[in-house]
């Protein structure tokens, strides 16, 4: 039996007194590409952040790469691309420095010797190698998104979690990124991706999970879910939006773990 890269049982999340995620069970085998769809406010981003320990669980259990959620998870092999770049607090940071930080995690005291070479290669793969010395605060939203993607890829992840990764980037760059994801999948990486539109990801998707009001309403055949929940004509509005500001946690985002 294929080992699960991600396993969640009975996950509930409550934020600000409001129940956002309601009893989600999810098992993602190693090597699978899973698309998570749903209207705005369905709980997609909140679910993903709870699975990564960025927001707390109200109830339920999560295992990542065979370990219970917490310090035993091999965080250096988990890549996460949030919806947007966290504020840098006014500290000048170059694109290269952001990507190099992806080689670090809370338990690693000595960074890998090839960290800068790996970071440059990841930036080049996303078409922004020429921006490595630019401050991220000066980059466009699409360029910042590519830097975040490079930061996740530099970890050489076994589990890659993407929250609308192609938002704000042009179609050629989307296609180049999807080719990179296809290569990672072929190497055995598990991918969980939140999508607003399926777009160029369509050929990669093995399975689709659809959320509505924090509950799973579809889990399986990607074709049916793609047509009904991920197409260009689908209504992505909902009165209860996910929290707008990503709560970036240790090991996964731009902050360095204490």
pLDDT digits 0-9 by tens, 21-35: 999 999 999 999 999
Q: Output the pTM of the full model.
A: 0.81
Indicate the fold that domain 4-88+156-229 takes in CATH. Answer: Rossmann fold (3.40.50)
Question: Over 90: is that where the pLDDT of 180 sits?
Answer: no
CB 11 within 8 A of CB 60: yes
CA 128 to chain centre: 20
Rounded to the nearest integer, the mean pLDDT of the chain is: 82
pLDDT score for 86: 61
Lookup result for tokens 């769809």? 37
In the prediction, which pLDDT does 103 show? Answer: 85
CB 216 within 8 A of CB 70: no
**Cβ atoms of 234 and 68 closer than 8 Å:** no
Closest CA to 44 of 234, 229, 239, 242: 242
Q: Which residue has the tokens 């991918």?
A: 191
pLDDT of residue 106: 57
Q: How far is CA 26 from CA 5, 140, 175, 219, in A?
A: 11, 35, 28, 9
- Encode pLDDT of 77-125 as tens digits: 999 998 876 645 556 689 999 999 888 865 555 667 888 999 999 999 8
CA distance 164 to 41: 14
Nearest to 161 by CA among 130, 123, 191: 191
100: buried, middle or exposed (CB in 10 Å: 19+, 13-18, 0-12)? Answer: buried
Instruction: Compare 90 and 257 and report the one with higher pLDDT.
Output: 90
pLDDT more than 70, % of the chain: 79
Q: Where are the domains of the chain?
A: 4-88+156-229
**Tokens representing 167?**
């938002």
pLDDT at 228 over 70: no
pLDDT at residue 257 greater than cutoff 50: no
Rounded mean pLDDT, 138-162: 90
State the pLDDT at residue 108: 54
């Amino acid at each position: 039996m294929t080992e699960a890269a991600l396993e969640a049982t009975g996950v509930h999340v409550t934020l600000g007194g409001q129940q956002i995620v309601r009893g989600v069970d999810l098992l993602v085998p190693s090597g699978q590409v899973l698309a998570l769809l749903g209207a705005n406010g369905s709980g997609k981003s909140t679910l993903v952040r709870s699975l990564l320990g960025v927001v707390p669980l109200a109830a339920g259990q999560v295992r990542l790469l065979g370990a219970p959620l917490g310090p035993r998870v091999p965080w250096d092999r988990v890549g996460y691309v949030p919806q947007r770049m966290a504020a840098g607090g006014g500290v000048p940071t170059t694109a290269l420095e952001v990507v190099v930080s992806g080689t670090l995690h809370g338990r690693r005291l000595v960074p890998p010797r090839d960290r800068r070479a790996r970071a440059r290669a990841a930036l080049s793969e996303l078409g922004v190698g020429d921006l490595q010395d630019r401050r991220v605060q000066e980059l466009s939203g699409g360029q910042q998104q590519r830097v975040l993607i490079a930061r996740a890829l530099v970890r050489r992840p076994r589990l890659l979690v993407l929250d609308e990764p192609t938002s704000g980037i042009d179609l050629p760059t989307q296609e180049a990124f999807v080719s990179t994801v296809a290569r990672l999948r072929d190497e055995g990486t598990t991918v969980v991706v939140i999508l607003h539109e399926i777009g160029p990801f369509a050929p990669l998707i093995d399975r689709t999970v659809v959320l509505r009001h924090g509950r799973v309403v579809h889990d399986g055949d990607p074709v049916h879910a793609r047509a009904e929940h991920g197409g260009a004509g689908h209504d992505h509005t909902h009165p209860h939006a996910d929290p707008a500001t990503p709560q970036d946690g240790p090991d996964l985002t731009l902050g360095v773990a204490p």
